[in-house]
Amino acid sequence: MADETPSDSKLTRTKEKWAREGRFLTGKITRPEDQRLPPGQHLTKDWPVLDLGVVPPVSRERWRLDVYGAIESPVFWTFDEFIAQKQARFTSDIHCVTTWSRYDNEWDGLATRELLAACQPREDARFVTLHSHDGYTTNLALEDFAAEDALLAHSWSGQPLTEEHGGPVRLVVPHLYFWKSAKWLQAIEFLTEDAPGFWEVRGYHNRGDPWAEQRYSDD
Ligand SMILES: Nc1nc2c(c(=O)[nH]1)N[C@H]1C(S)=C(S)[C@@H](COP(=O)(O)O)O[C@H]1N2
Ligand SMILES: [Mo]
């Protein structure tokens, strides 16, 4: 009994998971406690729609989430399987690079940390690229994707996400500009090398921290 712990034992995997979460917690989240509205932003009470101008028709029935790449346990969920996962409710602010911000958005969905526990990123996984049904992509460092208030949201203000706002499921990463929060989520790819997405190859900043005003790639 005491001779060895197999590398794939439940204990080893759990400890590896804690180690990874520790790495996430070392934190790149730079949101200051004392400054809610980032520089150059103004508040809006309505919720503008911003996208490439194509609303892809994806019903909850047809929606699938495909999670693949540098992970131990690929995930492929129907909407029913997705919504059967542990539910989180997070309230957070939206900051769009076009300078509007909207406070106190209530989201329901799956915390990205729960997704990470399910798919088990490999030790060499460092980046995530989100793929959407309209052809949009965006990239995040794993630490940013794993932020404590980031989630795959299916509802806003207690109601299913409307299709214009990215339903059935969108990403929400509140501490970065909202272009990182992919609507109409289709797949999540874990990568060992960074792969800049749609706006990131078109002059927008690779990370997009609103408090550092990381709007454009030369900032
Ligand atoms: N799939 C997809 N996600 C996307 C976009 C897009 O064009 N396609 N636009 C991004 C941008 S620039 C912003 S500001 C937000 C806007 O989300 P909203 O329309 O719900 O306000 O979605 C982001 N996610
Ligand atoms: Mo945006």
Three-class HEC string of 135-179: CCEEEEEHHHHCCCCCEEEEEECCEECCHHHCCCCEEECCCCCHH
In a domain, 49, yes or no: no
Nearest ligand 1 atom to alpha carbon 49:
19
The answer to whether the CB of 96 is under 6 A from ligand 1 is yes
In a domain, 218, yes or no: no
The answer to whether the CB of 165 is under 6 A from ligand 1 is yes
In a domain, 109, yes or no: yes
Q: What is the CATH number of the domain that holds 78?
A: 3.90.420.10
Print the domain residue range for 22: 7-26+37-44+66-212
Per-residue DSSP letter, 62: T
In a domain, 190, yes or no: yes
CA 55 to chain centre: 20
In a domain, 123, yes or no: yes
In a domain, 81, yes or no: yes
pLDDT tens per residue, the chain (219 residues)?
Answer: 444 445 666 555 654 555 555 544 444 566 788 899 999 999 999 999 999 999 999 999 999 999 999 999 999 999 999 999 999 999 999 999 999 999 999 999 999 999 999 999 999 999 999 999 999 999 999 999 999 999 999 999 999 999 999 999 999 999 999 999 999 999 999 999 999 999 999 999 999 999 999 999 976
Cα separation, 120 vs 37, whole angstroms: 35
- 138 CA distance to ligand 1 middle (Å): 10
The answer to whether the CB of 135 is under 6 A from ligand 1 is no
- pTM of the full structure: 0.89
Sign of CA dihedral 159, 165, 169, 174: negative
